[in-house]
Each structure stands twice: as C-alpha cells, then as structure tokens.
Amino acid sequence: MTASQVATEFDVIVIGSGIGGLVTATQLAAKGASVLVLERYLIPGGSSGYFDRSGYRFDVGASMIFGFGDRGTTNLLTRALDAVNVSIDTIPDPVQIHYHLPNGLDLQVHRDYEKFLNELIEKFPHEAKGVRQFYDECWKVFNCLNVMDLLSLEEPRYLTRVFFQHPFACLGLVKYLPQNAGDIARRYIRDRQLLQFIDMECYCWSVVPADRTPMINAGMVFSDRHYGGINYPKGGVGQIAQTLAEGLEKAGSQIQYKARVTEILTEHGKAVGVKLASGETYRAKRIVSNATRWDTFEKLLPRDRLPNSEKKWQQRYQQSPSFLSLHLGVKADALPLGTECHHILLEDWDNMESEQGTIFVSIPTLLDPSLAPQGHHIIHTFTPSWISEWQNLTSSEYEAKKEQAAHRLIDRLSQLFPNLDQALDFQEVGTPRTHRRFLGRDNGTYGPIPSRKLLGLLGMPFNRTAVPNLYCVGDSTFPGQGLNAVAFSGFACAHRVAVDLGLS
C-alpha cells in the first residue's frame, strides 16, 4: 500500500507491525474498525520477521513457537489468524529444547509430559516428589487460563462476565498473580542444581531467572509446550506476520511499509495522530504503539513530558539485553543423526546471565527443509549481548569484533557439532546495533525485565496509558515477553480499544 493510496483519517492507527501490533490490528479490523498499520521496514513482523540470503530463509528471532494449538483458549496465534479468515500450516516439534548444561546435565524437554518428567527425575531421583509438585502446580495456572477468553483485564464488563463464568479459575489466577516461579519452586525443591535448571527453564524465554519470572507466565509456557505443543510455521516464522497482514487487508484495513513514525501528535493532551519521517500526517480516534515504551514515551512523545506512571514503571523495570545473532548455512552432514531443532548450551552456571553466556540454537530446517538449499541446514545461534559492547568502534573494528565473536560461538558450538567449521556454507552476524537499526527498538532491547524482584505480574502495565487515546501493545505490556504473550497483549489491547470505540 503506497502513501498516495492511504486515507488520512482512521478509527485506529497502529505503530509497528510486530505480532502484538498485528494481532491488535486484525482483531479490530474483524470488528469493523478502519485500521492503518505503519511499518518502518519493508516487511511486517519485527523480531518475528525473516530475511533471505544465498538460498536460505532465516528467521530474525527465535523459532520456538507457542500458540498454534488446536484446542483450548491459549492457542492465541491460531485464534488471531482465524479472526481474519487466514491460516498457516504448521509442523509439530516433538522436543521443545535439548539442554546441554554444566556438570554434564544433558536432557530433553519432550512434548510428552510424562516422558519429560521421567527424564528429569532420572537426573534428580531424590527430588522426584518436588519435581512433580512444581510442574503440576504450573498446570494449575495453565488450566485456569485455558478455560477463559484471554482479553483485557482493564475492562470491567469482561472481568465480571469471566468471573461469573469461571469463578474458581479466576480465584486461582488471582492467587498466582503476585507470585514468581522461583518462590514456588523453592517450596518443593532443595537441590541447588535442579533449582538452577529451573532458572534456565525460565531464562530461555523470560531472560531472567525463576525468582524474577512471574508464575502466571511460567505456568503458561511450562504447560502449553505439552498441551498445544511447539509448532513451527511452514515457510518460516515470518509467515505469521505476512499472513496476518494479508488477513488485515482482506478485512478492509491497510498496512503501509517504509513508513517510519517520528512523532505521536497530541492536541489538548490527547493523542490524535502521527507524523512520518516523510512529513505526512495521519489522524485517528485511537493510537496504538507497538514500539517499546522507551521509544514511545522518549522518542515519539516529548521526553520532557514523561508521565509519572512511566517514570515509576522505569524504576521497576529495565531493558533486557539485545542479542548477538549468528546465522549459518551448513552442509547437512554437520549435524549428528538425531539432532533436535532447539538447543541451549551453557558451560558455567555463573555465566547464565552474563554477556554472551547462554547460547540458544535453532535449526528450523530439521522441521522445514524448504528454508535451505538441498543438502544444507540453517543453524541460527543467538546469545544475549548489550549494545554497550558494540559502541564507539570504527567500521573496521566493528567488523573485526563481529568476526571474532562468530569464531568464539562456532568454537563453542563444536561441542554439539564437532565438524561444524568444515561444513560452513554461509555466515552472517547481527549485533545489538543491527537489532536497533532494523527493528527500531531502543538499544536493540527485546523488552523489559524486572530491575529487582517484584510481585509477579502485578507491576506490568496494561494497554491504556496516561496519555488519553494512546495505548501500548507488545512486550512492554502485560503479560510480557514471548510470541504468545505479545499475542495475548494484542487481544487485550484490541478488546479495550473496541470497547472504547463502542465496537464491543
């Protein structure tokens, strides 16, 4: 959609086409709202996008996808696509993660719940009872979530309706809202290494250990991987955003690319529109920002007018690190027989949260071979990294540092894939600077993390903001990080906006 084809007034403008923004937009379009999505890049998706190189299709971010189940209410990606009459074929993954951890702790999280528990208990037989108690309690949280429509907790009529429909489930969730996964784990488990394993179970998607990971989120992830399962979208993760964008346009709304919003326009303190880098302006009854809260309130709005509520939020939460990403194309014989799709590698527990400490590995071509040339695989490796590590470098210093970082990662990966260095066909490195440039995220961050131990999810803001008619969606809002979590945020935001517009 070109700028000349776009009207200038809408019911809703959504800034950014990450999954949270697209779910908000499609849900509203399905309700009859006129929606314009403005995306600064060439394609939708943000960190759930893709790029093509030398016959390979690489996912920008992680390829471990929740939300594509076919039952219950937590299958939010399936439901989001259904709302605009589109769908995606998916490929089930029988193992969520293959862990390679310190002291020889090597185990797989099987989709089959009992198979996973039995493998974990085999490693920690003296904690058999505690293991079952902890993970069974996660199921209690999930079962509460899985019987109700997941919409806006800011909307009183929804809360009243869902409470009368599911009173015991609601009371169960209220109980867990102020709790963290680490608190629950320590009720049942004493073994230090097992508690460290549960820290890693949380860290691999929340980027913080268990004592700072809300129990609500842990219950969703630790159970849905066995209930709905991990299901990879055929054609790559980028298909999710592409298909949602197609559904948005089928529903009569619009998405515009190469449209970088530089300012949220306000009148009498209310959000009324946006201004683009091109100088064009669009107006709407409601504005939804899928940018991070730092970008929204310090770049798109005047920094000197930061609302007190945002100042308080920034005292409780800090930016998570970005990632150093290594995208490899390799000959198929580099992978030992029986290699799983997703791996986590850590050699020293003390380095779990350190710069480039934990290594995450995705090999999506084990599920969808069409993403690589015949006889080849993709190995996407990423590890947390702060932008401060990559600043104040000349171009040559920057390239040299990227090359050195790639060599170190390949050397560490050789523990899993011994012949990796001889099998390389393609290599590209992305840094936090790359993520900042292409995703438009402050410092390349992948969202907020608690700056200290907080009461579960109670500190996370909902979608409405202190600026009238302005809403936020995505990982800076309840319930936080992760693809299914930002989809939840999108459902909630769309519901709140629809009620405010009189559409629900």
Same domain assignment for residues 199 and 268: no
Kindly state the average pLDDT of the residues 479-496. Answer: 91
Q: How far apart are CA 349 and CA 89, in angstroms?
A: 38
Condensed to tens digits (0 to 9), the pLDDT of residues 277-335 reads 999 999 999 999 999 999 999 999 998 889 999 999 899 999 999 999 999 999 999 99
Report yes or no on 423 lying in a domain. yes
Q: What is the pLDDT at residue 5?
A: 56
Q: What angle do CA 310, 183, 207 make, to 5 degrees?
A: 50
Condensed to tens digits (0 to 9), the pLDDT of residues 333-377 reads 999 999 999 999 999 999 999 999 999 999 999 999 999 999 999
183, 198, 228 — which closes off a domain?
Answer: 228
Q: How confident is the model at residue 112 (pLDDT cuts 50, 70, 90)?
A: very high
Q: What is the pLDDT at residue 150?
A: 80
Same domain assignment for residues 305 and 261: yes
Please check whether residue 472 is in contact with residue 289, taking contact to mean a CB–CB distance below 8 angstroms. yes
Contacts of 290 (CB under 8 A, 6+ apart): 14, 15, 16, 17, 18, 20, 21, 24, 46, 472, 473, 474
Report yes or no on 32 lying in a domain. yes
Report yes or no on 347 lying in a domain. yes
Tokens of 201: 């179970």
Q: What is the pLDDT at residue 137?
A: 95
Query: What amino acid is encoded at 408 in this protein?
Result: R
Q: How confident is the model at residue 245 (pLDDT cuts 50, 70, 90)?
A: very high
Name the average pLDDT for the chain: 93
Kindly state the average pLDDT of the residues 187-214. Answer: 95
Q: Among residues 363, 111, 367, which one has the least CA distance to residue 229?
A: 111
Please check whether residue 361 is in contact with residue 334, taking contact to mean a CB–CB distance below 8 angstroms. no
Condensed to tens digits (0 to 9), the pLDDT of residues 376-408 reads 999 999 999 999 999 999 999 999 999 999 999
Report yes or no on 97 lying in a domain. no
In this model, does residue 1 exceed pLDDT 60? no
Q: How confident is the model at residue 72 (pLDDT cuts 50, 70, 90)?
A: confident
Q: What is the pLDDT at residue 171?
A: 82
Q: What is the pLDDT at residue 146?
A: 87
Please check whether residue 428 is in contact with residue 324, taking contact to mean a CB–CB distance below 8 angstroms. no
Q: How far apart are CA 312 and CA 323, in angstroms?
A: 27
Condensed to tens digits (0 to 9), the pLDDT of residues 12-49 reads 999 999 999 999 999 999 999 999 999 999 999 988 99
Residue percentage of the chain with pLDDT more than 90: 79
Q: What is the domain count for the chain?
A: 3
Tokens of 133: 């108690």
178, 195, 228 — which closes off a domain?
Answer: 228
Same domain assignment for residues 296 and 354: no
Same domain assignment for residues 365 and 433: yes
442, 460, 487 — which closes off a domain?
Answer: 442
Query: What amino acid is encoded at 26 in this protein?
Result: T
Same domain assignment for residues 389 and 325: yes
Same domain assignment for residues 327 and 438: yes
Helix 215-227 and helix 483-500: axis angle, to 10°?
Answer: 110
Same domain assignment for residues 311 and 330: no
Q: Is the model more confident about 92 or about 450?
A: 92
Domain that residue 257 falls in: 3-89+233-316+451-500
In order, the DSSP letters of 96-150 are: EEEEEEGGGEEEEEESSHHHHHHHHHHH-GGGHHHHHHHHHHHHHHHHHHTTS--
Q: What is the pLDDT at residue 158?
A: 75
Q: What is the CATH number of the domain that holds 237?
A: 3.50.50.60
Q: What is the pLDDT at residue 7?
A: 65
